[in-house]
Structure 1
């Protein structure tokens, strides 16, 4: 039995069962991606983070890490989509991405909630996530702080805009955990070019004093 025959048979079964076959993200049912960059020191100071040894152990010094690459619509977003891929991401696959998403729990959760809606298989989705992260130049004045620093939300956004030609204020949003930097969210097309995202931008933090704690 050839691989082509198996694929044809699977596609026919999916059609009869009313389930979507795996698709390239260009034809998947969402409008764009949000790349969410989490500031790890803020997460690690939280009760949840203190239990995450992979990300927050005493020997870890992560700064910005990838929280996720999220399929997004102009309004709202899909989540936990039906997929022929397994729900669990095997460690043999996920460990190649621990440098940017430093726990298998995070990788698995992001696949189930967001990656399953991308139209991509697990490896293709994780490769897309790495490509999106590689697309971004992290501003040194934010990413390499050695003591706690205070910025406005606009200053953080402007640092990213300055170091990433083509990124505009309507394509980036800062989120806060109380008065600490939580995440920076950047909107990307399916081809990973910068693009505006009114709803994401509108929900951004607007505090005038955001603390950026240093990586240990």
Structure 2
């Protein structure tokens, strides 16, 4: 079949576009490969904000009156310099019950532990025991500022104040290594970037996604006497 005279330039343009897309497609095929990532993000959730926002849908083990959690671990997330992998192994390998139970003091929800293993843990390249051991080591390397351990009333804060408190409590933690997240009204999370050996590291993209509100509220614990 002969092409119309105008088809030559069009075909050439299509071929050029295909050639330009090949590197992108090749890169996309690598997304979600276990163990291939640049750094971690340790995400600490302000539990009272979660409980207040979710209301009756909140996890009972985390939000009932007898369990007054403050900052808890949301997850330890493998990240790329831009973007992140998730659900790297489907179906996810089995999560042993003893490993799951061992995390409930800092991740107070069975569903949360399971979800984090399936979505993020499978991208770490580690088995479940090793991954959650890394989660605990990461958590233990961060000192929660004293001001946020026993909050017994609503407190208005700026994201900058919270970042400054964490940097003061954690020498070596710089402004481009931490980001505060919010839902527009409440402080929801503090995200701290760590390298693959769990030392603090810079993370430009995470820092760019930080809360932009000037002031946000931190709801209080249900019973500050037992705060964690």
Structure 1 and Structure 2 fold alike (TM over 0.5)? yes
CA contact (8 A) 1:50 1:56 kept: no
Equivalent residue, structure 2, for 1:65:
72
Classify the secondary structure of the residue corresponding to 1:47. helix
Q: Which runs of 4+ in 1 moved over 4 A?
A: none
Confirm whether residue 202 of structure 1 aligns to residue 218 of structure 2. Answer: no
How many residue pairs match? The answer is 190
Offset, 1:211: 0.6
Equivalent residue, structure 1, for 2:37:
30
Match of 1:56 among 44, 54, 63: 63
Equivalent residue, structure 2, for 1:97:
103
Normalising by structure 2, report the TM-score. Answer: 0.79
What aligned pairs does 1:1-216 form with structure 2 within 5 A after superposition? 28-47=35-54, 50-82=57-89, 86=93, 88-216=94-222
CA contact (8 A) 1:91 1:104 kept: no
| Unmatched segments (≥5 aa) in structure 1 | 1-21
Classify the secondary structure of the residue corresponding to 2:214. coil
Rate the CA distance shift 1:82–1:139 in 2: closer, same or farther, 3 A: same
CA contact (8 A) 2:50 2:58 kept: no
CA contact (8 A) 2:70 2:148 kept: no
Distance in structure 2 (CA, Å) of the matches to 1:38 and 1:65: 5
Classify the secondary structure of the residue corresponding to 2:53. coil
Normalising by structure 1, report the TM-score. Answer: 0.83
Rate the CA distance shift 1:143–1:206 in 2: closer, same or farther, 3 A: farther
| Unmatched segments (≥5 aa) in structure 2 | 1-32, 223-228
Rate the CA distance shift 1:102–1:172 in 2: closer, same or farther, 3 A: same
Rate the CA distance shift 1:166–1:147 in 2: closer, same or farther, 3 A: same
Q: Alpha-carbon deviations, 1:65-124, whole Å to 9, x = none? A: 0000000010000000026862x5233221111000011100000000000000000010
